[in-house]
Amino acid sequence: MIAFFTWLALAASAAIITPPPVAGVADYQLGGAYEPAQDVTIVTRDSLDPPDRSRYSICYVNAFQTQPGTTRWWKKHHPRMLLRDRAGKLVTDPGWPGEIVLDLRTATRRAELGQLVDQWFGRCAKAGYQAVEPDNLDSWTRSKKLMTRQQTITFARTMVTRAHAHGLAIAQKNTPELGRSVDFDFVVAEGCEIYHECGDYMAVYGRRMIEIEYSDTPRSAYTRACTARAGKISIMLRDRDVVPAGQRGYVYRHC
């Protein structure tokens, strides 16, 4: 085990980590891959989709919660990783049905999940992605007070090491309350204009930031974001379901 972590440290120090181009035109394609507009320079896709090899590509991984429809797999292969409350009931994300919070409470469980995340990151790198976006960093806030912010920070630091060992930049996804506690390479911030958080992120990451505002919130938020930060960071407007171009409900703008 010691030799493995020594290898990780050496690999991370040798790798050249390249974050996304500052203020690049970004597109968020989690609902399915499609050909971006010609001016797009950054594309985020689900880890199951191939990267856009002609653009800077970010690989989305749900690293702190399960994906909907995968509960049977987790129960068979990693049952201890599924967080249960004191009554033995699975702890789920109330905002996303079917997503179960993963258990980071002990070093053993963090190591088990770390091995899985390392495999996921490795597949992203092998596919040709340049960065990873591990989602639900704030899952401890939905854990019914069973997990702590410090347990999340400890695991997040391991994720940074593992991503860098694969030559991947790694994003902080939301969660401004973490501040500077984890050395992520850039941040992906959803709705920071709505929640008045954009300044908190920029205080940590400067211009290394991708901002996503959604079309189911007042359009004035996107307008304010563009007025305040266009040309400084990457800013886009997307539909909440991030459906592919051409499908009903598709919304995409950038400034």
Query: Can you give the pLDDT at residue 201?
Result: 98
pLDDT for residue 15: 67
Q: What pLDDT is recorded for position 7?
A: 45
Q: Which two tokens stand for residue 124?
A: 């992203």
Buried/exposed 171-190: b ≥16 CB within 10 Å, e otherwise: bbbbbbebeebbebbbbbbb
What the block records as the tokens of 107 is: 């070093």
Which pTM does this prediction carry? 0.93
What's the pLDDT at 238? 98
For residue 138, what are the CA distances in angstroms to 24, 40, 141, 203?
A: 26, 29, 6, 19
170, 184 contact by CB (below 8 A)? yes
Provide the token pair at 118.
């390392």
Q: Note the pLDDT tens digit of each residue in 152-192.
A: 999 999 999 999 999 999 999 999 999 999 999 999 999 99
Mean pLDDT by 10 residues, the chain (255 residues): 48 74 98 97 98 98 95 96 96 93 97 96 98 97 97 97 97 96 98 97 98 97 98 98 97 98
What's the DSSP call for residue 25? -
Tokens of 239: 């539909």
